[in-house]
Amino acid sequence: MRVVSGSAKGRPLKAVPGTGTRPTTDKVKEALFSMIGPYFEGGAALDLFAGSGGLGIEALSRGMDKAVFVDLESKSIEVIRANLKATKLEDQAAVYRNDAGRALKALAKRNTTFDLVFLDPPYRMKNGHELMLTMHELELLTQGATIVLEYESKHEYPEQVGPFEQTRKAVYGETAVSIYDYVPVAAEDEQENRITEEEAPHD
């Protein structure tokens, strides 16, 4: 594994020992970022099931200002910290050992918001859509935020998940990636009201 592009391009990344994590391959990573970027002009990213931290680190390398990495496994946390140090991106990162649900609540209490979220839960978990709705309820996302959901290609997620609209989907063997845009209802209503006002006759 390595950083594919950006300021840390070519830097090798450690993998988490054992078979408990499933790192995103460089091929999938490159395709994924070509769909959502490929480069960014600042912003905050959340890598929720971070594993080795490869996705969040790639986002930082490609221009994100900061990233939060969350994983429940202590060995993953050690690898994320080592990879951040190797890529000289540790000053732009915060790393937490926690489960996804508790981490989201903790981040909400700090009034943190994200422009980009990576959701790559273990394949046995099929709760990506539930986590997205939780992020909406906790007001963790900026208007127009991008969610990258990686999952087993045999599984299907709906194209519409509450205020999240699937804009792209790609399958790479056993891995599927869906890209969702976050468009909260309040923003849609505001836009409709603005259009109505513009069309309304004036005295």
Q: Is residue 3 part of a domain?
A: no
pTM exceeding the 0.75 threshold for the entire prediction = yes
d(CA 181, CA 186): 15
CATH label of the domain that carries residue 165: 3.40.50.150
Average pLDDT, the chain: 90
In this predicted structure, the answer to whether residue 110 has a pLDDT above a threshold of 60 is yes
Q: Is residue 21 part of a domain?
A: no
How many domains does the chain fold into? 1
d(CA 76, CA 91): 19
Q: Write out the residue range of the structural domain in which residue 74 sits.
A: 26-199
Q: Is residue 13 part of a domain?
A: no
- Split at pLDDT 50, 70, 90, the class of 19 is low
d(CA 119, CA 131): 9
Q: Is residue 15 part of a domain?
A: no
Q: Is residue 94 part of a domain?
A: yes
Q: Is residue 6 part of a domain?
A: no
Name the one residue in this structure whose structure tokens are 């080795």.
52
Give the Cβ contact number of residue 159 at 10 Å: 12
Task: List alpha helices for the chain, DSSP H.
Answer: 26-36, 54-61, 74-86, 100-109, 128-137, 185-199
Q: Is residue 34 part of a domain?
A: yes
Q: Is residue 53 part of a domain?
A: yes
